Amino acid sequence: MKQTVKLDLEPAIITIFGITGDLSQRYLLPALHQLFKEGLLDEKTRVVGVTRGDTTAEQLFEKADFEASPAMRERTSMFKMNLDDPAGYTALLQKLNAIEDEEGVCMNRIYYLSIPPQAYSPVIELMGEQGLNQSCQHGTAMTRLLVEKPFGYDLASAEALIAETGRFFGEDQIYRIDHYMAKETVQNILTFRFKNPIFEDLWNKDHITSIEISAKEKIGIEGRANFYESIGALRDFIQSHLVQILGIVTMDEPDSLDSDPIHRSKQTVLDQVEIVPADKVAERAVRGQYEGYRNEVANPDSNTETYASLTVYINNPRWQGVPITMTTGKGLDERKTEVKVSFTHEDDDDARNEVRFRIQPNEGIEVDLVTKKPGYNYETQATAMSYSYSDEFVSSSYNNAYERVIVDAVRGDHTLFASAEEVLASWRIVQPVLDAWRHEDLKTYKSGSRGPGEPNAT
């Protein structure tokens, strides 16, 4: 059973732009459902779904895979507006004010942008101009903006978007979501590293020979043709989720496991990732596209990758020379997100250990040890010491990442969100590859295969 927790969250109005979209249906609404079901949100909390159509809340719930609780039904309403029309924002502001008047309290205002990334800038500008960045009229409460990745399209557009958003919202009001950071198994990497002294002293180039961070998916693009065509695997997964995991795996120990020290430490190491020289991209990066993708997106010339693999190095004394490979792909033979940290003895290739963080599925951690096989002759084998979440906890006992995202935004905890500097650092890391790939052909691979492979980087 899930532990019963009491979070004492303040009342909030959670306004979701794009509530009828794919992300909201797949992740956000189920997460809100769970939070309502567990009674974790303050009882005055309201959800306002912004849509340009006529969808009603009841229709939303009919389409969902869950049975919405009476509380969720009662506290969710829809608001129809056109995102290009300033008058809609004024009317929305009036609605939020009216909700607070009705409830008789000031409420934290949370705006969740679950809309195409190209729409962020104009929507944020109109929100700011029409006063949606202000807080409660009668007292004090917080106003927060949640934005989904990708934040920007490349380094230049990310810089522009950060500047634009900063005109209307302070950095402490902006929550850039990376739902991988909110996965229990990713958070556990920090605990594993910094609360188990037997590993931390060996966590460097003197002992570690390579690190592989991979997120393989069996699914294709699942009807998200427009989104995916303009994004591709490098932006969709490596620039955000995998670079963030790289930061967690390689950063120096922060002064404490609080938000600011963690961000500082992560930022430092991300800034030390070597920017791939243009003439090395071909050997350090591989891209591919699954067969059939071009039909799916109805673009016979599509140059968008559904598979990307990139090897980087970190220019600091701790990690100099250790290849770190980030790989992701859709339409592959398995669904597996994992971090492999390999240790090899410098004089003995057979003396190897591997630590594997199984992010999903089969969540857990494995450590391969070399052991002697029983018998008269000396033979060895790799044996895994394994820790599985499923042996320790029933699956319902840990939170889905989007539940955590919503709870942290409501309680104002920035730890698991990406800072502006981290976002820029990760665009800097992928930018030379984006530039080179613009002029390069793709390899194709069969759906259900292992993909085109990883780089043989030097």
Residue 12 DSSP class = E
Crossing angle of the two packed helices 155-168 and 120-129, in degrees rounded to 10: 10
Q: How far apart are CA 424 and CA 421, in angstroms?
A: 5
Residue (22 or 200) nearer to ligand BG6, CB: 22
Are 107 and 69 spatial neighbours (Cβ–Cβ below 8 Å)? no
User: Please, which residue, 31 or 425, has the CB nearer to ligand BG6?
Assistant: 31
C-beta of 114 vs 133, nearer to ligand BG6: 114
User: In the bound complex, what is the minimum distance in angstroms from residue 236's beta carbon to ligand BG6?
Assistant: 5
- Output b/e per residue, 197-225; b: 16+ Cβ within 10 A: eebeeebeeebbbbbbbbbbbeebbeebb
CA gap 420, 158 in Å, rounded: 9
Minimum distance from residue 405 beta carbon to ligand BG6 (Å): 11
Residue 38 φ/ψ, nearest 5 degrees: -85, 0
Determine whether 241 is an active site residue.
yes
Alpha-helix runs per DSSP H in 68-202: 70-75, 86-103, 120-129, 155-168, 184-195, 197-200
**What mask, x for binding ligand BG6 by CB under 6 A, covers residues 152 to 191?**
---------------------------x------------
Bridging pattern class, strands 336-345 and 348-360: antiparallel
Q: Which of 33, 179, 241, 263 is catalytic?
A: 241
What sign has the CA pseudo-torsion 351, 357, 362, 367? positive
Residue among 14 and 182 whose Cβ is closer to ligand BG6? 182
What DSSP letter does each residue of 233-259 carry, written as one string?
Answer: HIIIIIIIIIHHHHHHHHSPPPSSSSH
CB of 27 to ligand BG6, least distance (A): 8
CA gap 150, 395 in Å, rounded:
29
**Smallest distance, ligand BG6 to C-beta of residue 308, A:** 12
* Positions 109 through 128 that interact with ligand BG6 (CB under 6 A): none
Residue 2 CB, shortest distance to ligand BG6, in Å, is 19
Strands (DSSP E) found in 247-397: 285-290, 307-312, 324-329, 336-345, 348-360, 364-372, 380-388
Q: Of 13 and 16, which CB lies nearer to ligand BG6 in the complex structure?
A: 16
Cα–Cα distances in angstroms (integers) from residue 122 to residues 57, 88, 129, 165, 322, in the given order:
26, 14, 11, 10, 42
Span 213-232, contacts to ligand BG6 by CB under 6 A: 217
Question: What are the CA-CA distances from residue 238 to residues 99, 173, 418, 431 (Å)?
Answer: 40, 25, 14, 11
When CB distances to ligand BG6 are compared, the closest residue is 236
Interface with ligand BG6 includes 363 (CB under 6 A)? no
* Smallest distance, ligand BG6 to C-beta of residue 399, A: 13
Closer to ligand BG6 by CB, 343 or 398: give it: 398
CB of 216 to ligand BG6, least distance (A): 10
Q: Give the one residue of 10, 236, 368, 422 binding ligand BG6; rule: CB under 6 A.
A: 236
User: Could you tell me how many residues of this chain bind ligand BG6 (CB under 6 A)?
Assistant: 3
Strands 336-345 and 208-216: antiparallel
* Closest to ligand BG6 by CB, 11 or 331: 331
Active site residues: 241
Question: Which residues here bind ligand BG6, judged by CB under 6 A?
Answer: 179, 217, 236
